Structure 1
């Protein structure tokens, strides 16, 4: 099979194991069907902004042109630092976006990808978020009315729990032997009094299994900025990474890159 198009982040469906899709523009390729098979990716020297479609030489924040990076609400600083949300100050880049995405119920969660980390997401997106992070287990610990409140709890708890994933350890399945429910119980006393009303111990742990034929001993990052031709046998997919027998490529990072993909059954 040969397909040409612009890379989009990997799609996935919560199954056992996770069912992955490679996405090129409107085309979707069921990656699980190609485990153990050869995949060839050729970069065609063209990048298009994932928002406005303009041709660009360099992308910002996983697929934006500079004006979209500068102006769109999806790229505002409060997206990566939600405790800095400025919607209430009237300075949101897009009030409709703020109402739809930020002034909505969010959950604060614990996820186990390499070690336990704390994070936040909108409630309808939690499973997608956990899979994108390569979590093998996750559990909500609080539900709050808006993104800013979730961010304030997250930044406080990050004093005691990591808020980032070590992606190399995650891909090598080097996972800490820790009990999410025990950590959830322990962390309750670390939540400030004004947020205790949101703490929730009722949720069970979600678990995730990824399609992997083998675990790489070493992690070599493959980049379309450095090599226009990538070819290898697909041995796994986890988070937003395609794991080949000669390296790994973060497909979200190269959103908007135009490629020709050849898949061999």
Structure 2
């Protein structure tokens, strides 16, 4: 089996275990994708040969380095989806008239967002748009997650996340996640404790409208034959040919017997994939 194309993030379907697809674009900035089911390849020897060519997923420009998971530097500095407020939504500057693309902001930021709790390597808080919620959690390698608050826009979700992050983690310890070092948690009980601790503060925050959600967690299992005892990160910049037995997939990582690689980090890279 041989495939060739430009990497996109792994496709996911919420089943038990999660179903993954390798996704390759036929051209640099095209939306036409070839998808290969990865779960059936567990235990087989796979090979990813990185050609050294990297192209921007927005404009297709050849670039020596990828920024913000797939963009060239000019697009990284120009596009609204690459602005720092996407990582830190509480710094949204739309109302100041300095949004890079107000039309994009209206479409993507001024819509319903959720603040959620997830168990990746312990309790963490995060935000996401209401659509594609399970995808967000699978991309993080969460074993369980539930939505906690619904708000009217991204800025409001960022304000709540920043408050909760004063006492909760807002990042995943990716190495522990890949070793499956996950604390068992009762997310419903954790959510009740978070609401009891923070809702009085939220109610006092000016101009903040939110809806408290009462939801049951979603649970996730991942297709893994064996988790690594020690995580060795594989870097195509140093080793263009990455190969080994596919031991598992979790988050956006392939777990090989030779190490692990985050495919989302290398979005836009041209790769030749083979399996035998």
Q: Same fold (TM over 0.5)?
A: yes
Q: Say if 1:43 and 1:258, in contact at 8 Å, map to a contact too.
A: yes
2:20 is aligned with 1:20: yes
Q: Give the whole-Å Cα distance in 1 for the aligned partners of 2:264 and 2:136.
A: 13
Q: Say if 2:150 and 2:213, in contact at 8 Å, map to a contact too.
A: no
2:253 is aligned with 1:241: yes
**Partner SS state of residue 127, structure 1:** helix
What is aligned with 2:115?
A: 108
**Partner SS state of residue 56, structure 1:** coil
Specify every segment of 5 or more residues in structure 2 that has no aligned partner in the other structure, as ranges. 26-32
Distance 1:200 1:145, change over 3 A: same
What is aligned with 2:136?
A: 129
What is aligned with 1:11?
A: 11
TM-score normalised by structure 2 residue count:
0.93
TM-score normalised by structure 1 residue count:
0.97
Which aligned pairs between 1:151-162 and structure 2 lie closer than 5 A?
151-162=158-169
2:69 is aligned with 1:57: no
2:100 is aligned with 1:88: no
Bigger CA drift: 54-63 or 115-124?
Answer: 54-63
Q: Give the whole-Å Cα distance in 1 for the aligned partners of 2:59 and 2:163.
A: 36
C-alpha RMSD over aligned residues? 1.2
Q: Give the whole-Å Cα distance in 2 for the aligned partners of 1:255 and 1:135.
A: 21
Aligned residues: 264
Q: Give the whole-Å Cα distance in 1 for the aligned partners of 2:18 and 2:185.
A: 22
Which aligned pairs between 1:185-200 and structure 2 lie closer than 5 A?
185-188=192-195, 189-191=197-199, 192=201, 193-194=203-204, 198-200=210-212
What is aligned with 1:75?
A: 82
Q: Give the whole-Å Cα distance in 1 for the aligned partners of 2:212 and 2:183.
A: 24
What is aligned with 2:263?
A: 251
> Structure 1 runs of 4+ off > 6 angstroms?
none
What is aligned with 1:260?
A: 272
Bigger CA drift: 159-168 or 90-99?
Answer: 90-99
Select which of 40, 44, 65 maps to 2:47: 40
Deviation of the 1:178 alpha carbon: 2.1
Deviations 1:120-173 (CA, angstroms, capped at 9, x unpaired):
000012111101100000011100000000000000100111000000011111
